[in-house]
Amino acid sequence: MNVTKLTEETRIQRQNQLDAKKTQNERNKLGQFATPTELALEIIEYSKNLLSQNQKIKFLDPAFGTGSFYSALLQLFPESKIESAVGYEIDSHYGDEAISLWKNTPLKINISDFTKALPPKNQEEKANLIICNPPYVRHHHLNRSDKIRLQNKSLTTTGIKLSQLASLYCHFLCIADAWMAEHGIAGWLIPSGFMDVNYGQEVKDYLLNNVTLMRVHRFCPNEVQFDDALVSSTIIWFQKTLPSQNHPIEFTYGGSLTAPEERNLVASNTLRNTSKWTSIGLIFKPKDFNSKQFKLKDLFNIKRGLATGANDFFILTKEQIAAHQIPAQFLKPILPSPRYLSVEEIETDILGNPLLEQQLFLLDCSLPLPEIQNNYPTLWQYLQIGEESGISSRYLCKHRTHWYSQENRPPTPFLCTYMGRTNSSRRKPFRFILNHSMALRPMGVKLRLSPLMFT
């Protein structure tokens, strides 16, 4: 099969049609977020640097979808270079389409659960190139029996016992070890969360002890790689060989896989002693670092939060959203007041929403009223409440292009509270909070701190 740009365009069109037949919640539960074409091509292109020229490829994608990586493989490698290709897809909704798309190629696709499949016993049948964007299914979407089964299989495969709080992608990574040929290469596109959270420690142990970790590329958190999932992504590359002592590992950050903004070699022993690997990716060199005392303004761009002009109207709970039937595309996650933030680190779900007890959303729409009335009548009805109650005439609102549109305040990884009451659970009112989510911050008693990049 001669794979062309038109072939890939057909695959994307069918992928979008299949996605549209599922709700966002359904896809979220199964962690179904397809790899963008350009990113898939970039990952497969990079694998050329790691494979020997005379080596024939035995390809495996344990979370196949409709085949974004396989399509890239066929576009970038001659057919004579590909000895075999195997894919696993748990959902026949996508798997059946993949079978139809690639029926004239050597691909063997299995519509089944990869984590339950039996790996090849013969080294010759194992993959020497595993490329995968595994499902990002958080542990609370896994039932107890599945958690125990996955934990046991990961332990049997790698000798490492993952936490029962580990997301499904962690188990995919460990279980795939049994499918990988000696000296084989693997590239995994996974969320960056494992680099910092407690349940990620066992994953890092696997990468440092069981295989030779070659490269870790972390994308800038503000440059999400998926249009439908606001999660920070990382690509890890490793080889199925035992690591040499204190070997160097390439850490890159920002930009793209082939053109990162920052590049650094890190000794494996340094990583063993670093609890949060994301700190490796942000390297800055302040001038006269040893001779100068720095203020916050030297390290961060400090801004106030977002001013809505009417928090009671624009900041909504899930119950209010349901009651007024506000369309999801006009809502953005927003953080609550500091008194409702008992944590020092805000975790996130696959959509970028903060994992907090109190979940709030900001109404933000840039469409003109006539278009809203024609296409989004429930939103228009809610905006009428704002006009009738005089909110549209308030100072901030009436000085906007549309009184119901919000100022542009992107999310930031660091927050600082500077006012509030002192109590036993929150200690001092002056607090710094690490924000992994895409939630915005309302104006009030929190400052947003965006790291400055020094040269």
pLDDT in tens, 151-178: 999 999 999 999 989 999 999 999 999 9
- The pLDDT of residue 289: 45
Q: 3-state DSSP call for residue 100?
A: helix
Within-domain flag for 314 = yes
The count of domains in the chain is 2
The CATH number covering residue 255 comes to: 3.40.50.150
How far is it, in rounded angstroms, from Cα 322 to Cα 329? 14
Position 409 pLDDT exceeds 50 = yes
What percentage of the chain reaches a pLDDT higher than 70?
87
- The pLDDT of residue 231: 57
Judgement on whether residues 245 and 306 belong to the same structural domain of the protein: no
- The pLDDT of residue 341: 77
- The pLDDT of residue 225: 47
- The pLDDT of residue 224: 52
**How is the chain split among helix, strand and coil, in percent rounded to 5?**
35, 20, 40
Residue 137 makes CB contacts below 8 A (sequence gap 6+) with: 29, 30, 31, 167, 168, 169
Within-domain flag for 282 = no
Position 454 pLDDT exceeds 50 = no
Judgement on whether residues 101 and 196 belong to the same structural domain of the protein: yes
Structure confidence at residue 213 as a pLDDT band (50, 70, 90):
very high
Judgement on whether residues 74 and 114 belong to the same structural domain of the protein: yes
Judgement on whether residues 219 and 340 belong to the same structural domain of the protein: no
- Take residue 125 and report the two structure tokens written for it: 């049948």
Structure confidence at residue 269 as a pLDDT band (50, 70, 90):
very high
Judgement on whether residues 251 and 312 belong to the same structural domain of the protein: no
Instruction: Give the mean pLDDT of 265-284.
Output: 81
- The pLDDT of residue 2: 67
Position 230 pLDDT exceeds 50 = no
Position 424 pLDDT exceeds 50 = no
Q: Which of 20-24, 77-81, 162-166, 402-406 is least confident?
A: 20-24
Judgement on whether residues 324 and 231 belong to the same structural domain of the protein: no
Position 146 pLDDT exceeds 80 = yes
pLDDT in tens, 78-92: 989 999 999 999 999
Judgement on whether residues 265 and 312 belong to the same structural domain of the protein: no
296 vs 428, higher pLDDT: 296
How far is it, in rounded angstroms, from Cα 96 to Cα 74? 20
Structure confidence at residue 422 as a pLDDT band (50, 70, 90):
very low
Structure confidence at residue 455 as a pLDDT band (50, 70, 90):
very low
Domain endpoint, select from 273, 307, 339: 273
- The pLDDT of residue 222: 67
Judgement on whether residues 346 and 245 belong to the same structural domain of the protein: no
Within-domain flag for 280 = no
Task: Name 217's bridge partners.
Answer: 235, 252
Judgement on whether residues 255 and 312 belong to the same structural domain of the protein: no
360 vs 225, higher pLDDT: 360
Please state, in angstroms and as integers, the Cα–Cα distance from residue 426 to each residue in 339, 340, 421, following that order: 9, 10, 9
Within-domain flag for 278 = no
- The pLDDT of residue 392: 94
- The pLDDT of residue 452: 60
Q: Which of 84-93, 125-134, 225-234, 389-398 is least confident?
A: 225-234
Position 421 pLDDT exceeds 50 = no
pLDDT in tens, 346-392: 888 877 888 888 889 999 999 999 999 999 999 999 999 999 999 99
Instruction: Give the mean pLDDT of 40-55.
Output: 92
How far is it, in rounded angstroms, from Cα 4 to Cα 40? 15
What percentage of the chain reaches a pLDDT higher than 90?
55
The pLDDT mean for the chain works out to 86
Instruction: Give the mean pLDDT of 196-220.
Output: 93
Judgement on whether residues 332 and 210 belong to the same structural domain of the protein: no
Instruction: Give the mean pLDDT of 397-420.
Output: 82
User: What are the start-end ranges of the H helices in 240-376?
Assistant: 268-272, 278-281, 296-299, 311-314, 318-324, 369-375
Most confident among 189-198, 272-281, 337-346, 372-381 (mean pLDDT): 372-381
Domain endpoint, select from 241, 273, 305: 273
Within-domain flag for 370 = yes
86: left (phi over 0), alpha (psi -120 to 50) or beta: beta
Most confident among 122-126, 220-224, 289-293 (mean pLDDT): 122-126
Judgement on whether residues 351 and 303 belong to the same structural domain of the protein: yes
Q: Containing domain of residue 193, as a range? A: 5-273
Q: 3-state DSSP call for residue 197?
A: coil
How far is it, in rounded angstroms, from Cα 307 to Cα 431? 21
Domain endpoint, select from 221, 241, 273: 273
Within-domain flag for 291 = no
Within-domain flag for 395 = yes
Within-domain flag for 77 = yes
- The pLDDT of residue 296: 75
Judgement on whether residues 77 and 219 belong to the same structural domain of the protein: yes
Global pTM reads 0.64
